[in-house]
Chains A and B, each alone.
Chain A
Amino acid sequence: MSVVTRTRLASAPSRPRITVNTRRQWITGFLFLSPWIFGFFAFQLLPILFTVFLSFTDYKATSEFMPGNFNYVGWENYRYLLIDPQALPSMGVTLKFALIGIPLGLVVPLLLAVLVNDRRLVGSSFFRTLFYLPTVIPIVAGAIIFNGVMNAQSGWLNLVLKALGIADPPRWFTDPTWAGFALNLLAIWAVGNAMVILLAGLQSVPTELYEAATMDGAGPVTRFFYITLPMISPVIFYNLTIGVILAFQYFVPALLIGSANGDPQKSLLFFPMVFYREAFVLSQMGYASVLAMVIFVITMVATGLLFYFGQRLVYYASGDAS
């Protein structure tokens, strides 16, 4: 690519007529791109650099942002991160949510997709629509619904569990041990996007592969692990990446159900919620910027690692690994 560009640029002066045309093409093209280029600088790149800058200041949102209203404090905010009584435990809450939620977010939609893709299932498009339905329900409505259906006394979930013989089902959102897992269940409820993507992946596996494997005596389990899984591994990888990124940003349902305190007993105090509190409840923009940097760096490192290992583990049928 770079070679091509260089030759074109080098040869440009000798062919002035093409240059005029090419330049016009460039100008028009960049005009079309300009909304995004402007937006990228104004709403993404410069703000990130500014967050880095703010993380070295003690700026508070109680006063207007201007020189004199904040001081340069060096690594002070980063040092406080290590002794902050909220930050480290809240990272534990986020990690626990991620460690349970990410595998669930891979297995449950795959199970649903395989089920809906099964020819023996009567009315599979009906099933697909209804499995997808929770995904379009607004987050706030979802929080209300789960706060109710997982209510310890009147919620239907515990009624079902009692009917199944569990005498003392968990008290979910009022029990610090179970509150986080209850949110995992709320998250897995809205699994429609992953299911639909996996379903399309399953349908794109060539049937000849299955026929050949069956001829060779492979049973359904063997076919699933040796044909289906490798063939849909790019899709699984996509779901994994999205799942990891979203897990480290997750906090809105926790805020709705457990308030900004992360009740009960800080068991729902997710790391991004500490960020939200520092920035928009306590107005500590300087320290909050450090917390934002942590989320940003974790996301970047996780995505980088996933892509690094993904290139080795994922099978791309076309041979093109991009």
Chain B
Amino acid sequence: MTTTPLPGGSPAKPVNRNLLYYARIALTRIGVNGLGLLMLAVFLLPLGYVFATSFKLDSQMTTQGAPLWPAAPSTYNYQGKDYPLYIVPGAGGSTQRLALVNPYRENSDMVDPAHPEKGVFNVTGRWRTWQPLYRFAPTLKNFIDAWEEVNFPRLFTNSLLLAGISTIGTLISCILVAYGFTRFKLPGKNILFIFLISTIVLPPQATIIPLYILFSKLHWTGTWLPLLVPAFFANAYDVFLLRQYFMSIPRELDEAAMLDGAGPLSTLILIIIPQAIPAITAVTIFHFFFVWNQYFEPLVYLLGNEKLYPISVGIGAFVTTYATYPGRSAATAVLAMLLPAVMFFLAQRQFMQGIVVTGVEK
């Protein structure tokens, strides 16, 4: 890199060239980090917005000149009464923080919190043009309102149960199937595997009408069964992830176990599963999130049976009530994303590894 020719840099002054070289490195460093911070700001803007709004009173959203953070007008207690504080422009561009005691049109009676002993005095100027002084004042009102309007404990319980049972079913079935695909020589196995992989691209719309008819015939609609039972019959995505991992486990160990008299099932349980914990963790997390976020299927199959709604369907209506109750909608969104976000922060390594397995090794 030091051999990079620089325009105007004469070979007689090597010191100068070094300076330019280091300046360029410093500039690219600043550029890369600056771009990173800019992109991060763009990506986190919606989150900042929803957190700020969830702790704000709705009245603050419509007030002109109110700050973006949760705030309330600052007041000053003078002789037993609270008066709002304003930033009052004085002579020569200076400003004063004064409390408004008696507002009039062209002038107002004010008191100076720094010198209350001076008493009330009159200031010329329209108080409506002055900037009110705000203090940081987050409110929990939106969360309380949201909690009272929606049965959050029930929605959480439903989502946890649905996601939990579905994940158990997926784990059992996908581990069995992935083991079948990795450790057995079977006729037509490759063709079956191609079929399996091709179901990844299958749009849910192509199957949902016959499934809906089937589940209504079985009187399963309006219950959790249409959402839970298919999970016990494996899915392509998780089988693929587990298969890739199982293939990387050396066969010597399970052959040794087989020689000791272990059957295929005990080999799977005793040898394969303990070595495949990272992949199994990844499948657990992925599937849990998948069910937690599911919206279309529960909406269709639960048929308005509100008692069984998961959180996704239960709070769906809050998207459109945003216009009237922004704070409450925002609080609902915060409550709904809290658990996934915490889970992600705790298990992000397994998360990213699992994505890499399914995406790169395909």
A interface residues, Cβ below 8 angstroms from B: 1, 5, 22, 25-26, 28-33, 35-40, 42-44, 46-48, 50-51, 54, 61, 64-65, 111-112, 115-116, 118, 120-122, 127-134, 136-141, 143-149, 151, 154-157, 159-160, 189, 193, 196-197, 200-201, 204, 214, 234-235, 238-239, 241, 245, 248-249, 252, 256-257, 259, 272, 275-276, 279-280, 285, 288-289, 291-293, 295-296, 299-300, 303
Contacts and interface: CB of A to CB of B under 8 A. Distances in A.
Contact of B177 (A1, A32, A151, A292): A32
B330 interface: yes
B207 A144 contact: no
A148 B49 contact: yes
A40 B195 contact: yes
A200 B189 CA distance: 30
Interface of A is mostly: helix
Interface string B49-64: 1100100000001100
B199 A32 contact: no
Interface stretch (B79-87, B105-113, B319-327): B319-327
Given A1-B190, A115-B32, A256-B316, A137 B340 contact: yes
B262 to A, nearest CB: 13
Nearest to B66: A154
A296 B206 contact: yes
B143 interface: no
A30 B176 CA distance: 10
Nearest to B330: A148
Nearest to B204: A249
A192 to B, nearest CB: 8
24 contacts: A26-B186, A26-B187, A29-B184, A33-B186, A35-B173, A36-B173, A39-B230, A40-B196, A44-B199, A61-B213, A65-B216, A121-B32, A132-B351, A138-B293, A140-B311, A145-B46, A196-B359, A197-B359, A200-B359, A201-B360, A248-B203, A249-B203, A291-B205, A296-B205
B177 A33 contact: yes
A54 B212 CA distance: 13
A133 B345 CA distance: 9
A64 B216 CA distance: 8
Contacts of A118: 32
A4 B230 CA distance: 35
Contact of A129 (B216, B300, B345): B345
A279 B230 CA distance: 21
Contacts of B177: 32-33, 35-36
B206 A51 contact: yes
B362 interface: yes
Contact of A131 (B29, B43, B214, B296): B43
Contact of B341 (A31, A133, A157, A275): A133
A292 to B, nearest CB: 5
Contact of B180 (A29, A54, A196): A29
Contacts of B184: 25-26, 28-29, 32
Contact of B234 (A35, A127, A144, A156): A35
A200 to B, nearest CB: 4
Nearest to A186: B46
A64 B32 CA distance: 63
B48 interface: yes
Interface in B60-84: 61-62, 68
A257 B293 CA distance: 16
B340 A238 contact: no
A39 B316 contact: no
Interface centre among B184, B208, B239, B319 (most CB of A within 10 A): B319
Given A43-B230, A147-B322, A285 B213 contact: yes
A50 B293 CA distance: 28
Interface string B12-46: 00000000000000001100110110011001111
Contacts of A295: 203, 205-206
Interface centre among A29, A128, A296 (most CB of B within 10 A): A29
B359 A238 contact: yes
Contacts of B360: 197, 200-201, 204, 234-235, 238
Contact of A149 (B46, B300, B345, B362): B46
Contacts of A111: 39
B233 A35 contact: yes
A288 B322 CA distance: 31
A38 B315 CA distance: 35
B127 interface: no
A235 B359 CA distance: 7
B318 interface: yes
A29 B143 CA distance: 53
Contacts of A28: 184, 264
B191 to A, nearest CB: 9
B12 to A, nearest CB: 24
A139 B319 contact: no
B33 A122 contact: yes
A253 B334 CA distance: 17
B209 A285 contact: yes
A288 B47 contact: no
A291 B334 CA distance: 36
Nearest to A160: B45
A290 B275 CA distance: 47
Contact of A249 (B1, B205, B212): B205
A159 B187 CA distance: 63
Contacts of B355: 193, 196-197
Contact of A245 (B185, B201, B320): B201
A26 B264 CA distance: 12
Given A238-B359, A295-B203, A137 B233 contact: no
Interface string B280-319: 0000000001001101100010000000000111011011
Given A29-B180, A121-B33, A140-B316, A47 B207 contact: yes
